[in-house]
Amino acid sequence: MSEIGYLNTDLIIESPDDLTAIFDTFGDEVIVMYNGELGKVNRAAYGIAGSYSNANDILDFFCVLVEGFDETARSLWDSCSSKVFDFGNESGTSPQNYSSVIRPEVIKRISDIGAGIEITIYTPIDKRKKQ
């Protein structure tokens, strides 16, 4: 039996411009999972390098990083066509339900930096391995 639960939160951004400068500004605090052209846009997907167990802490951390951007990185950030925090959750058969609350002050910070929220539900790991 697999359990429903939170996996991680990634930041995914898209721009007509090269996004490497944003990753360079993040430095060692962030892991780049993808940075390159995807169709007609440049796309980057980032995760936090440290260990965080909940979405609020990860979102707070990303917001601190973006809020601290220098003028060049902030200009590139503001010009992005898409800025999304993607919450990864694993589906399962127990418990009967699952919820995760994002604190209002975190939602405001996300809005203040011009980002959105996306929720992704993954099948249980054992089911994914069989596909």
Q: H/E element holding 110?
A: helix 104-112
Question: The sheet that has 82-90: what strands, in order across it?
Answer: 30-38, 41-48, 5-15, 82-90, 116-122
Cα–Cα distance measured from residue 26 to residue 70, given in angstroms and rounded to the nearest whole number: 11
Global confidence as pTM:
0.87
* Number of domains forming the structure of the chain: 1
Structural domain for 33, as ranges: 5-130
Q: Quick check: 22 and 103 in contact, CB under 8 A?
A: no
What does each of the 131 residues of the chain score in pLDDT, given as a tens digit? 588 888 899 999 999 999 999 989 998 889 999 999 999 999 999 999 877 778 999 999 999 999 999 999 999 999 999 999 999 888 888 888 888 899 999 999 999 999 999 999 998 876 555 55
Q: What is the model's pLDDT at position 59?
A: 95
Q: H/E element holding 129?
A: helix 125-130
Chain position carrying tokens 């060692």 = 28
CB atoms within 10 A of CB 30: 20
